[in-house]
Amino acid sequence: MSKQITLADIARACNTSNVTVSKALADKKGVSDELRKKIKETARSMGYVPPRTTPVRKDNNMVGVLIPAKFMDPNGSFYWALYNSLVNRLMKTGHYSLICNLSEEDEKGLVLPKFITDGKVCSVISLGQLSRKYVETLRDTSLPLLLLDYYYAGSGVDSVVTNGYMGGYELTTHLISRGHRKIGFIGTVMSTSSIFDRYMGYRKAMLEYGIEVKPEWTLDDRDEHTNTDIIFPEELPTAFVCNCDEAAYKAINQLEAIGRHVPDDVSVVGYDNYLISEISKPPITTINVDSDYMAGKAVETLLSRIYSPDSPARTITISGDLIIKESVRTLS
């Protein structure tokens, strides 16, 4: 099977940006005639085929929300809360939503959802990290696109994310202020941009206070397919920074199962301040993410893109607040 040519491939061949290629192929302003001609000739010679979609009606007010199936926990998750906020925020602007749970197979095969190929939606919100290649495929449809809770630098696509870097830093410094010096991190670091940013915030705090980061205390909580059990080492730190409340909740239960109690033996902090952080025993110290405010910023940014399609891509970063609960013990 021949390789599918994307805008990124054409951009590399022409030594220009993805956004410039997109504008040239769509005959939008902002590209010189000479470069436009070069891009079109390059696309033709490389065998570029635009994604097949039915034209969108001008009166269409339907927004597609695309969520990878692996992020949708049937028992509820932070993404469900964020999606519900999106629905409400869209309705207030006269827009409605169609949801698609994207299978891993369709993501790998770069198969577009039917709400795009059938021309049912005027724009798309991608909630939960998809591969860069799939994001490029979405972008190549020329539909207004927004990435929610993740980003890709240089993609030319708008994003709305939480400030995971500062959140990870604040959680770690909170543990340090409570006397902890043996601190680990739970989260598969390279699986999403949000986990990576929270990990780097953790690393910044550890470096700033001159505390060693032990590789054996950085633990995975998922693989490329789904969430997995956390494999704890024989020697444990006194505290863990977890990439999200669900990981913290899972860590607490697994630690209890091996006879280690939170916070008496090990302290645990999470991220999101989702419902699970409150029903946990003990309740989890966390970073609060206002899902309704985040959804509002996503809708605001998407509408701005719809009305100003040629404006530069933006990444909107939303800060959270430290919420202190009962999962951290103070060491003498």
CATH number of 86's domain: 3.40.50.2300
State whether 178 and 261 are in the same domain.
Answer: yes
Which residues span the domain enclosing 24? Answer: 7-46
Dihedral angle, C-alpha 109, 113, 117, 119, nearest 10 °: -160
CA pair distance 139, 19, nearest whole angstrom: 9
Q: Which two tokens stand for residue 38?
A: 């070069």
Phi, psi of 62 (to 5 degrees): -100, 130
pLDDT in tens, the chain (332 residues): 346 677 778 888 999 887 788 778 877 777 888 898 898 899 888 888 776 555 555 567 999 999 998 887 655 578 888 999 999 999 999 999 999 999 999 999 989 999 999 999 999 999 999 999 999 999 988 899 999 999 999 889 999 999 999 999 999 999 999 999 999 999 999 999 999 999 999 999 999 999 999 999 999 998 876 778 999 999 999 999 999 999 999 999 999 999 999 999 999 999 999 889 999 999 999 999 999 999 999 999 999 999 888 889 999 999 999 999 999 999 97
Amino acid at 271: Y
pLDDT of residue 1: 38
Q: Does a structural domain hold residue 27?
A: yes
Quick check: 126 and 138 in contact, CB under 8 A?
yes
State whether 282 and 262 are in the same domain.
Answer: yes
State whether 25 and 169 are in the same domain.
Answer: no
CA distances from 260 to 1, 8, 113, 178, 254 (A): 52, 50, 45, 19, 9
Q: Does a structural domain hold residue 51?
A: no
CA pair distance 243, 245, nearest whole angstrom: 7
State whether 190 and 276 are in the same domain.
Answer: yes
Q: Does a structural domain hold residue 326?
A: no
pLDDT of residue 192: 93
Number of domains comprising the chain:
3
Quick check: 41 and 147 in contact, CB under 8 A?
no
